[in-house]
Structure 1
């Protein structure tokens, strides 16, 4: 079984849309970029520059576009997933590819989502990735700091992301490093995602999502909040609308995909952030990051991995 993984904010780098498919003009990628530009009323290729990516709106929109474009290109090469999961905003690309959400509706919701997040906390907030401590140790460090910080992402048993103000994250960083964390680094995210600080934004997004058509997924969709397979349209709607407010249990989502039977994990572009996590959690599975590789070479690697998984 093939599972597609869609990365979230922080995976972006300048020019990543231009590098899709190895920079080759793959028809599905060109078509998707043109469709996105028409839907957004702006050239989407102008949204992946260094200055443009300072905007949460530009980052989240381009991440979804990249994931959908890559999945469509692989489909043209005969590669189709049997399950999907997306980290944070990556869930919207996953929802499109599993057939639950139309591409135009995904872009509309993501633009609103990002605008609400920026509006809630325009400056002075972000996220801190901590490696080497577990969830209870991180929670204790946050409590001892007395800071307004929260666990946002549980990417691996000992790779956890914290959300909060710049001052709060600085306090927590000092504590976790003093208690044995291997690393504690700020992410390229300018909002405090996946915590109570985005409660009001989530409420407004819930209202907007209520008017968007969501279909029953044609393949398995694993949600962010509960790390469970969601097979009903209303459950996917809730997951998409509320995942900015609740912690993302990404490690558990990966395990859920494995329990479904996934043996080959393919990370949609940009970057290579989710495949190392999958490889660490599931060493017997194949993990392939598409990133800026040519579509044909990725398709060949996926076919080869599927053959090995069947042996």
Structure 2
């Protein structure tokens, strides 16, 4: 079985859309996205543009859908689709639950709401080497000692967790985590406090907007963000997309479910490689491929060869 996985905000880098493969499906996706957004999508990956949450999230959605379409044109359609945070949107397109133009409009609205809620002074930090339980205890102690709150945003792996909050709180919490034995704790290139209660109001507004968008039951399996479980109805996928900014992303649970359901090859959409590294570390029996690290022809051939071994 083939699983397509889509990275979230923080994976972006200068010029990442320009580095996508020269493939007819990619070019067609660029043209369609430019029409929907009313601007050339190839302006979304400049250093200036990448300071905007809207540009980053729209660009990641375009990249994910473009590579999924290119792979489909080569006969590589996914049995399973999952994305981390905004990556859930191209995953929903990939499995047939959401038309691409509607996904792009919803992502733009999502990013606008997030950016408006916290235009500055907030973000994310990645902590490696401590468990969710240990970090929850540290976060409680943080508050008890008079510090502003921090929240568990993503559980990417058992000891690879992302915290959300105000910049000052995160900077202080990084020192606390390192003192408690964290192997590494660093800020991420994200300027909003994703996946926590700070975005409750923005999530409610996006949920209202999402009710105007036509979703369909998926044609292949979609794995949700909040519960890390398969979702089989249009309403369940709509709710997952509209509310994932408010709740912890259970990425490792999603990856585990894909492995248990029979995924033998994963392809991570550009520009990410972090999700591939997690899959390789924890499930080495799966062939985990990062599209951003291989020429497209080699990517397709490698995936096809691995799938034929099943």
Smaller-chain TM-score bracket: over 0.9
Between 1:136-145 and 1:61-70, the stretch displaced more is 136-145
Q: Partners in 2 of 1:110 and 1:186 — Cα distance?
A: 23
User: What are the ranges of 5 or more consecutive residues in structure 1 without an aligned counterpart?
Assistant: none
Q: Which position in structure 2 is the counterpart of 1:217?
A: 218
Query: What is the CA-CA distance between 1:296 and the residue it aligns to?
Result: 1.4
Q: Secondary structure at the match of 2:141?
A: helix
Q: Distance in 1 between matches of 2:294 and 2:14?
A: 16
Moved more, 237-246 or 299-308: 299-308
Q: Distance in 2 between matches of 1:66 and 1:7?
A: 10
Q: Distance in 2 between matches of 1:94 and 1:43?
A: 23
Q: What's the offset of the Cα at 1:307? A: 2.7
Q: Does 1:149 align with 2:146?
A: no
Task: Quote the offset at 1:48 in angstroms.
Answer: 0.5
In structure 2, the gaps of 5 or more residues are none
TM-score by length of 1: 0.97
* RMSD of aligned Cα (Å): 0.8
Structure 1 match to 2:307: 306
Answer yes or no: is 1:93 the counterpart of 2:94.
Answer: no
Decide whether the 8 Å contact of 1:264 with 1:306 is kept in 2.
yes
Q: Which residue of 1 aligns with 2:258?
A: 257
Once residues 219 and 75 of structure 1 are traced to their aligned partners in structure 2, the CA distance between those partners, rounded to angstroms, is: 13
1:201 is aligned to 202
Q: How many residues align?
A: 306
Q: Using the TM superposition, give the Cα deviation of residue 75 of structure 1 relative to its aligned residue in structure 2, in angstroms.
A: 1.0
The whole-number CA distance in structure 2 between the counterparts of 1:6 and 1:271 is: 8
Residue-by-residue CA offset, 1:167-226 (whole Å, 9 max, x unaligned): 110121111100110100101100000000000000000000011100000000000001
**Alignment partners' CA distance in 1, 2:140 and 2:173:** 9
Match of 1:162 in 2: 163
Asked if structure 2 preserves the Cα contact closer than 8 Å seen for 1:3 and 1:83, the reply is: yes
Post-superposition Cα deviations, 1:43-98, rounded to whole Å, max 9, x if no partner, equal: 00011001100000000000000000001111111111101000000000000010
Partner of 1:69: 66
